[in-house]
Amino acid sequence: MRTLARGPRRTAAVLTASAALLVGLASAPAAEAASPHRHRPVTLDDLARQHGRYFGSAVDNPELADTAYADLLGAEFGQTTPGNGMKWDATEPQRGVFDFTSGDEIADYAKAKGLKLRGHTLLWHSQLPSWLSSGSWTAEELRAVLKTHITQVVKHYRGKVFAWDVANEIMNEDGTYRENIFYKTIGPSYIADALRWAHAADPKVKLYLNDYNVEGTGAKSDAYYTLIKQLKADGVPIDGFGMQAHLALQYGFPYQLQQNIQRFADLGVDVAITELDIRMVLPSDATTLARQADWYSQVTSACLAVRRCVGITLWGYSDGHSWIPSTFPGEGAALPWDENLRHKPAYDAIHAALTAARS
């Protein structure tokens, strides 16, 4: 859920006519060999699709101006999530006045590149417009505001997104509800209401709850497990749970990840790794990059091991466009590509994990 890289994609060299003559190739085979489709490298999303998953990366609007970055994203990945363009402050900057400019730019980009688009996010305690966060609301008034916002945004993107992060980061670390403006004014019923309103606006879109620090078992993920189980029992439309997976080497790996994904899947919902990055204390070195690569491999393998883990999304794919350094001073190097769009060991580890599972 965070604010969110450059370099050309390497392609195979085309045989020239003179080279074909030197090696005694006929002109027809030479032309066949020149086809770029026969030499396109196998991408992470190619491999993920062989398992019925997607492999994606988030993107923020300013990054689309970085042509090399945007081109590589469109070539390597099969899904994208807007970093900020669909959040409340972007889509409804004034009450009842909707602006879909930023979200539409990414939706148009995704369509042009053939990428699945995830909607992010309908409600969150952060990045709310001041008219909302500073307002004085009764429960009835705020419910009406929330219903209007969700209905208008979901209807606008109906048929363009395959899933929505409906409610984002609604739990505290101890498993209690975060006291955001919606909880304090309406109470916990706003969550079920939001899901129902989103479903009414687009009955075909998948509806998710999404949060960080829920990759392993513990109070926070237990709270989501209990909530989703209750929502399902109450007939509330809930299709998935998003595990953000903003991991950090210094805090240890969530070794219960696969088990945790499985228990949510057993509730009858999909699970997605929605915002994956793995940061470290800088400077990086061969040891930390190798450890990071191992973690990326483990996350990938954990998702592949559970049938209802539907895909993995990096939160940006290059260190050149990462939110980490500005948010966690002294930390970074969190992504599988470096600032110059060169593969790091993490990329090779993800590729190997996807390939091994295929084998």
- 101 in the same domain as 15: no
Judge whether 3 lies within some domain.
no
Tell me the per-residue pLDDT of 39-72, one tens digit each, with 9 for 90 and over. 789 999 999 999 999 999 999 999 999 999 999 9
Task: Looking at the structure, tell me whether residues 238 and 305 fall in a common domain.
Answer: yes
**CATH number of the domain that residue 94 is part of:** 3.20.20.80
Question: How far is the C-alpha of 208 from the C-alpha of 120, rounded, in Å?
Answer: 10
Q: What is the pLDDT of residue 39?
A: 72
- DSSP 8-state class, residue 138: -
User: In this structure, are 24 and 55 located in the same domain?
Assistant: no
- Residues 223-252 have pLDDT tens digits of 999 999 999 999 999 999 999 999 999 999
- The answer on 343 and 265 residing in a single domain is yes
Measured between alpha carbons, how far is 299 from 146 in angstroms, rounded to an integer?
35
User: What total number of domains does the chain contain?
Assistant: 2
Is residue 295 included in any domain, yes or no? yes
Rounded average pLDDT over 337-355: 98
Verify that 320 and 266 share a domain, yes or no.
Answer: yes
How many angstroms separate the Cα of 248 from the Cα of each of 61, 110, 173, 255, 297? 26, 29, 17, 13, 15
Q: How confident is the model at residue 357 (pLDDT cuts 50, 70, 90)?
A: confident
Asked if residue 29 has pLDDT above 70, the reply is no
Let me know whether 130 and 35 are in one domain: no
Residue range 300-344, pLDDT digits in tens: 999 999 999 999 999 999 999 999 999 999 999 999 999 999 999
Q: In angstroms, how far is CA 68 from the centroid of its own chain? A: 20
Whether pTM exceeds 0.75: yes
Q: Give me the pLDDT at residue 259, please.
A: 98
Residue 26, domain extent: 10-40
> What positions carry a catalytic annotation?
169, 275
Rounded CA-CA distance 157/155 in Å is 5
As given in the structure block, the two tokens for residue 217 are: 């078992």
